[in-house]
Each structure stands twice: as C-alpha cells, then as structure tokens.
Amino acid sequence: MEQVTLTATCGFGLEAVVARELFKLGYPDVKKSDGRITFTAPIDAIPKCNLHLRSANRVLLKLAEFPAEDFDAFFDQIHDLEWEGWIPRDAYIPVTGSSQKSKLHGVPALQGMAKKAIATRLQDVYKSELPESGASFPVHFDMRHDQCTIFLNTSGDGLHRRGYREKAGLAPLRETLAASLIQLSVWNRERTLLDPLCGSGTIPIEAALIARNIPPGRNRSFAAELWPRIPGQLWDDVREAAEAAIDTSEMLPIIATDQDYHVLKVARENARLAGVEEDIHFQQQDLSETTTKRKYGCLITNPPYGQRLNEEEEARQVWQTLSDVTEHWSTWSLFIFVASREFESLFGKRATRRRKLFNSSIECTYYQYLGDKPPSMRKRTISDDPSQKE
C-alpha cells in the first residue's frame, strides 16, 4: 500500500493525548511538535485517523517541506510540486495558511501566491482552465522559522464537527477538547462519571462515545473521501471495521445534570444524535443539590468561567458550591476545567496536578484532584494512570 506522511493537528498541550490515540490506532512512531503530531503510514491511515481520532483538530497530508525566505522561492517550490498526482482538473482548491517567526509573514498575499502557483502548474498539465466545480482539495501552508510545509487537508471541516451537536448551550466545549479532558482523567467505564454542569452534554456524550468505542467521525464525511487517489474501498473497509468494533455491552454509569431545563433538552437531543442517549442519565438539578451514594467516581466538569460568560461573581459562586458539595468526596477524583488561575484558592484545595490548555484562544487550567482508587483498580501501577504519563 502507498505510504504517506500525515500530520494530526491539535490544541497546544494536547499533543501527548493525540499521540496516545495514534499509538492505539497502530501508529507508534510519531514526531511531536507544538500542536502537531507527524508520522508515516500506509494510505489507509487517512480514513482511519479521520474516523477515529477524538482529540485532533484535523488530519493533514504532508506534501513537501522547504526553506522559503522570499516570494520567488515560495512560488517556485510550490509550483514544482506534483499537484496533478493528487488533484484532478475540476478540483475546488481553497488555500489557507499561517506564518510564524518568518520573513514571509503576509498570509493573505502568500495565500494568493500559493493558489497561483498551483493553478499555473495544473493549467499547464491539464492544458485547460480549471473550472473548480468538483471535489474540494483544501491546501494549507505553514511557515515557521522560514521553513514552509505544504499540506492537503484530508479532513475538510475540523474533526470537532462530529455531526451530533446541532445546538449548544452557552459557552460549549469543543468536542475534541472534551474528549481530551476525559482521556486526561482516570475515568473508565467501570467508574461513575458525573458532570453536574453538563450544559449541552459534550463531556458525557464524548465519554459515552469513548466507552462504547463509537468512532467520533461516524456521522460525518471527510474531504478526502472524494479524492480519486484514495480508493473508496479503503473508506468502506475502515467504516465497516469500526462499526463491528462498537461495544454494545452493559449500561454505562454516566450522569449529567444541569439547572437549566432548556439546555438539558438540547443535551438529550445531542446524545440521541450521537447514538448514546440510553447511556447517559440526564437530570435537571441545581449544583447545590448534588449528592452521591456511589463510593468511587470521577467528576469531570467545565463550570462557568466568569470571563467568558461575563458573570464573574456568579461563576465564583458556582466554584464555591462545587467545593461545598464535594467536600467529603475523598474517594472521588475531580477534574475541573476552568479559565482561572485563582480557582484553587476559591475551591479551597490544592490540585494534585494542573495543566495549561486552551479553549479556542482562552487560556484555561485543568485542575486534577486525584481521589482514592477503587479496590479493583489498586493493582494498576502508577504508569497505568493516564494522568501520570508524559
């Protein structure tokens, strides 16, 4: 099978999570850099990674990397690539790009130039105008330190677009980020998961998808599905294998509550679209009424930030309530994702661990409070604990 070099992109700080997902998919040899994980694999990695990666933003096909300190070098090296090997005559070719710490930094001008270089090459090869009426072949260039990397974006829309979240509450988490938060926690399907501020349900839904081994890309299509160089059969085979691997065994212990009736309705509908409605117990409840009879569990939640919802005092009140209701939950592990460095002082407890992550461009911290392990998990060594890896 043809070998390709792929780059999975992700949010800053989530590289190890994506690398671990790639390891599980059978791609252990990866190179990590800021927001990128690069590896070489047979071409069926394109359907596999698009369908299965939960925490990555996109899967890019790397076509070339070269130094480009001036416009001529940029244009000529793009023009010289064998675009016709991937792109047919009628392709629609949108070009995006970024530039950091490089002499060439005017992204709109570079976009126009890249497009012209590709179009000139293809017009020469196909000996015709390019109608741009067919499938999409999104090109992306990335300039860093005067080094240009050229990609084809195999995903199209970002992988957070799972196809289940048609509506959302205020300040919803990205699906890819929610999947990362779960994978950075110690939750597994044997433990109760509670999100007492569930909003549109992103955390519980992503947890159910993980526990059921439902591929996150099940309900969507990807740009590269229409590319002639990737046989359609590969996509069919990968989708078929993924369906066969879905785990339909016993019920999942996932509880999602929120005070807002309307947002819960949205959450239920999202869960239905994601195929996990039966797996989540949704309930309207104020945070202050949260209790549990379950001895071991994980609370994973994303309280109001204050900053983002513009209601600082109210947000602080919620953090305080969260602290009160969980005060005696020493056998629970708590994972709280919030855009504040002051959270610990209001919560009244020092976190076992904190991670700097981003929700879009907002700097956030993932505070982790590890509780006692359930007896069935005590034999696991510290190295099995995902939060201790890296």
Ligand X SMILES: C[S@@+](CC[C@H](N)C(=O)[O-])C[C@H]1O[C@@H](n2cnc3c(N)ncnc32)[C@H](O)[C@@H]1O
* Least distance in angstroms from the C-beta of 293 to ligand X: 20
Q: Which of 35, 47, 138, 172 binds ligand X (CB under 6 A)?
A: 172
Residue 346 burial (C-beta neighbours within 10 Å; 0-12, 13-18, 19+): middle
Q: Using CB atoms, what's the residue nearest to ligand X?
A: 199
CB-wise, 237 or 260, nearer to ligand X? 260
CB-wise, 122 or 267, nearer to ligand X? 267
Q: Which two tokens stand for residue 367?
A: 């505070």
Residue 12 burial (C-beta neighbours within 10 Å; 0-12, 13-18, 19+): exposed
Q: Which residues contact 157 (CB under 8 A, 6 or more apart)?
A: 220
x/- string (CB under 6 A) for ligand X, residues 268-297? ------------------xx----------
| Amino acid letter, residue 23 | F
Q: Which two tokens stand for residue 274?
A: 């994601």
Distance CA 12, CA 151 (A): 19
**Is there binding between residue 202 and ligand X (CB under 6 A)?**
yes
**Is there binding between residue 194 and ligand X (CB under 6 A)?**
no
**Is there binding between residue 324 and ligand X (CB under 6 A)?**
no
- Choices 61-69, 166-174, 183-191, 357-365; region in contact with ligand X by CB under 6 A: 166-174
Distance CA 282, CA 293 (A): 17
| Amino acid letter, residue 45 | A
**Is there binding between residue 205 and ligand X (CB under 6 A)?**
no
**Is there binding between residue 150 and ligand X (CB under 6 A)?**
no
- Choices 15-23, 24-32, 67-75, 259-267; region in contact with ligand X by CB under 6 A: 259-267
**Is there binding between residue 258 and ligand X (CB under 6 A)?**
yes
149, 62 contact by CB (below 8 A):
yes
x/- string (CB under 6 A) for ligand X, residues 61-90? ------------------------------
Residues in a beta bridge with 335: 300, 368
* Helices and strands per DSSP (H, E), number in the chain: 10, 14
x/- string (CB under 6 A) for ligand X, residues 293-322? ---------xxx-------------x----
**Is there binding between residue 18 and ligand X (CB under 6 A)?**
no
Report how far apart, in Å, the C-alpha atoms of 4 and of each of 226, 281, 318 are: 17, 43, 48
Q: Which two tokens stand for residue 371?
A: 């509780």
Residues that bind ligand X in the complex, under the rule CB under 6 A: 168-169, 171-173, 197, 199-200, 202-203, 258-260, 263, 286-287, 302-304, 318
